Amino acid sequence: MSDRGTQTRRLLLVGFGGILLLLAITGLNAVSVLKTIQTRNEQIRQDYVNRERILEQLRSDVYLSGTYVRDLLLEPDPARADMHRNELEGARSRIDSMIAEYAGILRGEERAPFQEFEREVNGYFDSLRPALQWNAEQRRELGYAFMQNSLLPRRMVIVHLADQISRINQKQLESGNRQVAALFASFRRSLLTLFLVTLACGLVLAAGSVSRILRLERLSAERFEEVVRTRAALSDLSARLVEVQETERRALSRELHDEVGQSLSALLLAIDNVTATLPSGGSSESRIQLHEIRRLAERTVTVVRDMSLLLRPSMLDDLGLVPALQWQAREISRNNNVRIEVQANLASEDLPDEHKTCIYRIVQEALRNVMRHARAKSVHISLTHPDGTLRLTIRDDGQGFTPERDKGMGLLGMQERVSHLHGAFELVSQPGKGTAIQVELPLADAQG
């Protein structure tokens, strides 16, 4: 059984450990994949935003450059024309900076369109160089034609190329999103695989555990039924032993009272007859010996009577339970200097013999324990008959004890007697606070 238990614990440990390991692997893999997906998604988004920012700035500066050129060609004032020329140079500087920055993050498919874009931008600004040297008269005469034939077409080409690069950037974003979606799909597949493996292992472990538990439950139920049967057999044996003991005590009590008692009474009568036959002037030695024999016989009668009463008081069968309890209380009070009060309130003395014997033996054992261990000054015994129940209460003001630790065979015998009659036994005691015993015996079933 021990080997089976060790094997079961080992299998459960391996099974549950394996499931926990799979769950841990699944969790760590999920965290790692989600972190990778999040990082990749953030990189794609950041790259797209950065590219769009550069392209938007390029478009804006190209439009501004055209505006600066238009204002320069239409400006008759030389000072303001120089200001527009400087603004155009600033826009050219920003455009060159943006082109250099974008060139550092180029992808393969963007390289050709971007190189064309860069050539167009350079050609656009090269075409503007002659117009920047014109005077006011030349600007007024040639400016409109220059804007219509050169500036606007070249600017639109540049903007078109920037839009084309933006579309390529958009495609790159869509490609990145597809990569993220592929990562998610792969993650879902791996997670589903691990889930199915974990579920299969869990089902196998659950089936094995349920089978093992059901087997152990059956074994436990069989052992429990065996224990119950054994307990019932022991209880029946104990009850039969108590019954046999009471029968033997009754028989011994009658033998002592009838046979030995009568023999001793006859011996006393014979001693009296012998004493009467002695002459009045006879030997005083003979009278003294007969007197000693008579005293010995009387003490023997007293001892036999006490033994008979202790074994089974005849008044329990002849007079009833309450007189027997009162007699027992008087005898113990007289010999031990303890005040014992018996308070009985019974509607009838017509009680089952087993109940009378049980109550008498419990009181006898309780008083014996009080005299031996409690050091009590007073004992109160109450016997009542409420609602079809025979209730006995015994209280003393002794030194008390701890029932969980100091329960002896006498208390166990009381509990066994009460349990055999389907009653309730309660013991309450604390060190220094006395002891209380309460017994309740059902009468309805017994009388029925």
Whether 251 is covered by a domain: the verdict is no
The domain boundary residue, chosen from 189, 211, 233? 211
Q: Following DSSP, what letter does each residue of 232-261 receive, concatenated?
A: HHHHHHHHHHHHHHHHHHHHHHHIIIIIIH
Indicate if 191 and 337 belong to the same structural domain. Answer: no
Q: What whole-number distance in Å separates Cα of residue 349 and Cα of residue 356?
A: 9
Of the pLDDT bands very low, low, confident and very high (cuts 50, 70, 90), residue 379 is very high
Query: Per the structure block, which two tokens stand in for 207?
Result: 């089936």
Whether 293 is covered by a domain: the verdict is no
Q: What residues are paired with 381 via a beta bridge? A: 342, 394
Of the pLDDT bands very low, low, confident and very high (cuts 50, 70, 90), residue 285 is confident
More confident of the two residues 382 and 334: 382
Count of residues making up the chain: 448
Q: Can you tell me the mean pLDDT for 373-377? A: 85
Assess contact for 421 and 358: CB atoms under 8 A. yes
Q: Can you tell me the mean pLDDT for 74-79? A: 78
Q: Can you tell me the mean pLDDT for 214-220? A: 85
Q: What is the pLDDT of residue 35?
A: 82
Q: What is the pLDDT of residue 281?
A: 57
Indicate if 172 and 320 belong to the same structural domain. Answer: no
Whether 329 is covered by a domain: the verdict is yes
What does the pLDDT look like over 409-440, one tens digit per residue? 778 888 888 888 888 999 988 888 889 999 99
Phi, psi of 385 (to 5 degrees): -135, 70
Whether 273 is covered by a domain: the verdict is no
Q: Is pLDDT of 156 > 80?
A: no
Lowest mean pLDDT among 124-138, 247-261, 293-307, 418-432: 247-261
Query: Per the structure block, which two tokens stand in for 67?
Result: 């505006």
- Own/partner pairs, 399-405, CB within 8 angstroms, 24+ separation: 399/373, 399/374, 399/375, 399/431, 399/432, 399/434, 400/374, 400/429, 400/430, 400/431, 400/432, 400/433, 400/434, 400/435, 401/373, 401/429, 401/431, 401/435, 402/429, 402/430, 402/431, 403/427, 403/428, 403/429
Indicate if 56 and 194 belong to the same structural domain. Answer: yes
Q: Is pLDDT of 3 > 50?
A: yes
Count of alpha carbons within 13 Å of 276, Cβ hemisphere only?
6
Q: Can you tell me the mean pLDDT for 370-385? A: 87
What does the pLDDT look like over 247-277, one tens digit per residue? 777 677 677 666 777 777 777 787 777 777 7
Q: Following DSSP, what letter does each residue of 69-136 receive, concatenated?
A: HHHHHH---HHHHHHHHHHHHHHHHHHHHHHHHHHTT--GGGHHHHHHHHHHHHHHHHHHHHHHT--H
Q: Which range, 118-132, 208-222, 261-275, has the best average confidence (pLDDT)?
A: 208-222
Q: What whole-number distance in Å separates Cα of residue 448 and Cα of residue 415?
A: 23
Q: Can you tell me the mean pLDDT for 321-350? A: 83
Q: Can you tell me the mean pLDDT for 284-294? A: 77
Name the pairing type of β-strands 378-384 and 339-345. Answer: parallel
Of the pLDDT bands very low, low, confident and very high (cuts 50, 70, 90), residue 309 is low
- Collapsed DSSP state (helix, strand, coil) of residue 385: coil
Q: Residue 215 to residues 160, 184, 225: CA-CA distances in angstroms?
A: 81, 45, 15
Considering only CA atoms, which of 248, 419, 443, 438 is closest in space to residue 352?
443
Of the pLDDT bands very low, low, confident and very high (cuts 50, 70, 90), residue 323 is confident
Residues near 62 by Cβ (< 8 Å), separated by ≥ 6?
Answer: 95, 121, 124, 155, 158, 159, 162
Q: Can you tell me the mean pLDDT for 285-289? A: 76
Structural domain span for residue 17: 2-211
Indicate if 192 and 324 belong to the same structural domain. Answer: no
Whether 148 is covered by a domain: the verdict is yes
Q: What is the pLDDT of residue 4?
A: 61
CATH code where residue 426 lies: 3.30.565.10
- Domain count within the chain: 2
Q: What whole-number distance in Å separates Cα of residue 276 and Cα of residue 295?
A: 16
The domain boundary residue, chosen from 181, 211, 241? 211
Whether 30 is covered by a domain: the verdict is yes
The domain boundary residue, chosen from 196, 211, 226? 211
Indicate if 320 and 207 belong to the same structural domain. Answer: no
Of the pLDDT bands very low, low, confident and very high (cuts 50, 70, 90), residue 448 is very low
Indicate if 329 and 203 belong to the same structural domain. Answer: no
Q: What whole-number distance in Å separates Cα of residue 130 and Cα of residue 150?
A: 12
CATH code where residue 169 lies: 1.20.120.1730
Q: What is the pLDDT of residue 334?
A: 82
Whether 59 is covered by a domain: the verdict is yes
Whether 131 is covered by a domain: the verdict is yes
For the chain, the average pLDDT equals 78
**CA R_g for the chain:** 59
Assess contact for 390 and 325: CB atoms under 8 A. no
More confident of the two residues 152 and 97: 97
Q: What whole-number distance in Å separates Cα of residue 143 and Cα of residue 431?
A: 121
